[in-house]
Structures are given as structure tokens and as C-alpha cells.
Amino acid sequence: MALLRRETRTAGLEFRLLVKEPLIAILPSRHRLARHKAIRPEDICREDFISTARAAPVLKTVIEAYAAKVGIQLRQIYDAETLSGGMSLVASTRGFTLLPTYAQNGLIPSLVARPLYGEVPTIDLVLGYNKSNTSSLLKQFLLRADELASNRSKG
């Protein structure tokens, strides 16, 4: 089993939703938008966007759907090879990127995370496993994961 982003169904692979993780804007701490409590879509469309599409194609799909839904076009200037590479490019180019909230745990001091204003896009974190696996350990793990996901959605 593995923690994954929900991808197109693959024969024999099953997914269990763990959490819908909101996206946040990652900006240089001295960026003009960093003083805002939340970032509006009309503000980010004027800024240089650092994509992480090569590293995270599912994230790319979520970001593209968000941009289309809120009616903006992102000005992509770079496509980073990794998420950390994307954050380095944000720091060095004074652009921004959109990442799941967990990314704020790895920010360097020159970057800040800001929530998005309005209806915030989310990306699914799922547990992927081979559905033909009959292991009792896997079944116990899945039951516990379901409990934790259920408790998280209630709280």
C-alpha cells in the first residue's frame, strides 16, 4: 500500500480516501501579496506562476480546474521538477506556487503560506492498495484508516 494522490483507476488498484487537502499559495515573505490574510484569484493571475506539474500531474489537474472555475489564467514561467524545487524557484524568482497544505511544514524562512480566498480547491490524499491482497494485516490497517478518516471528517 502507499499514500497517493487519486489517479485514474488502474486495474487491480483500489483507493481509500483519507483526506481532502486544501491548496495554499506559497509566496516569498517579501512579496506584495504576503501581507494579505488570504489570496484572491484575481491577484494571483497577475503574478508569475511556478508549476510543479512534472512532479505532480494530479496537482496540475486540480490547479487547472481551479483556474478555469474562478476564470483566471495563470502566467506560468517555470515548471519545476520537484515540489521542493518549485519552492526554491518561488524564493528566487519572486513568483508563487499552489501546493497542498502539508507543504507549509517544509517552508524555508524566506517563504510564507497563505490560504486562498473563496472556494478553495482540494486534492485528495488516498491510500492505494492491490485489491486482490487478502492479508489480514491489510484489512486491519484499512479499518483503522477508515476510522481515522471518519473521525477527522467529524472533527
Mean pLDDT computed over 3-31: 87
Which residues fall within 8 angstroms of residue 81, CB to CB, at 6 or more apart? 54, 55
Domain boundaries, the chain: 2-154
| Residue-wise pLDDT tens digits, 72-96 | 999 999 999 888 899 999 999 999 9
pTM: 0.86
User: How many CA atoms, within 13 angstroms, populate the side-chain half-sphere of residue 1?
Assistant: 20
Arch. (CATH architecture) of 2-154: 3-Layer(aba) Sandwich (3.40)
The C-alpha atoms of residue 112 and residue 114 are separated, in whole angstroms, by 7
> In the chain, where does DSSP find H-type helix?
41-44, 57-70, 83-93, 136-154
